[in-house]
Every structure is written in structure tokens, then in C-alpha cells.
Amino acid sequence: MRRSLNPPSVPRSPFYSQGIEVPPGRTVHVSGQVGIGAAFGLITAAVALAGVGLAFLAAQVSMALAIAVGVVAVLAVLAVAIYQAALSGIYSATLYRYAVSHETPEAFRGADLAQAFLPKRD
């Protein structure tokens, strides 16, 4: 049976857990990219909605202009997706490096990476 793990400082949610302990043994899957995913989900939605709105307004002037605005909006959404993937990869690599060698990259000095690896409380 799986067991949800949540620190007391984080509000409880019926839909999401900070970590899951999975049998057999004590394998724990820690979440950490929801913050990045949620933030970029909102940014992507805002860029897409702005693109649709601007394309609609451009269509009032010219269909060619609307298509051009639509293409730019699609490229903007792709740029946001690439940026999100890059940041997620950097975050994962940083946590991996910290987990393996306890080294914190220079750009992450001051970040408390140890918080991602605290032992569970029974």
C-alpha cells in the first residue's frame, strides 16, 4: 500500500502529495517539479490565450495578418515549452548532483537542496 508523505509546513491537498512511499521496502518518490510545471502551465495558457486574442483581432484587418500572428503565437508557446524543459532538466541535474556528491553548483549557493532529501518522520 502506498503512503503519502507531506511536511507539516505544506498545506494538505486531496489531489497531490509531496512524496509517496511505495512498497516493497522504503522506496520514496519525491515530487519537486510541480512548482515549475504549474508556473509554466499558467504562462503557457496566458501566451496561448493572448495569441488567440491577437489573431482574432488581426483577422478583423486581414486574414494573412491573422495567420502571421497565429504562427508567432505558436512559436511563443514552443519557446515557453523549451524554456520549461530546460529549467526542469537543470533542476533535476542539480538535485542529482547534490544527492550523489553533496556538491551544490555555484548558481545554487544559498538554496537549501538538503530539504529535498530530509528523512521521513514516522
Q: Which helix (H) or strand (E) holds 3?
A: strand 3-5
CA 87 to chain centre: 8
Which residue positions in the chain have pLDDT lower than 50?
33
Q: Are residues 36 and 15 in the same domain?
A: no
pLDDT attached to residue 44? 94
pLDDT attached to residue 97? 82
Q: Are residues 8 and 61 in the same domain?
A: no
- Pick left, alpha or beta for residue 102 (phi over 0 → left; psi -120 to 50 → alpha; otherwise beta): left
Range of the domain at 59: 32-117
- Work out the angle at residue 99's Cα, subtended by the Cα atoms of residues 26 and 104, and round it to the nearest 5 degrees: 155
pLDDT attached to residue 87? 87
Q: Of 33, 53, 57, 55, whose CA–CA distance to 45 is shortest? A: 53
Give a yes or no: residue 122 inside a domain. Answer: no
pLDDT attached to residue 27? 63
What is the number of domains present in the chain?
Answer: 2
Q: Are residues 107 and 65 in the same domain?
A: yes
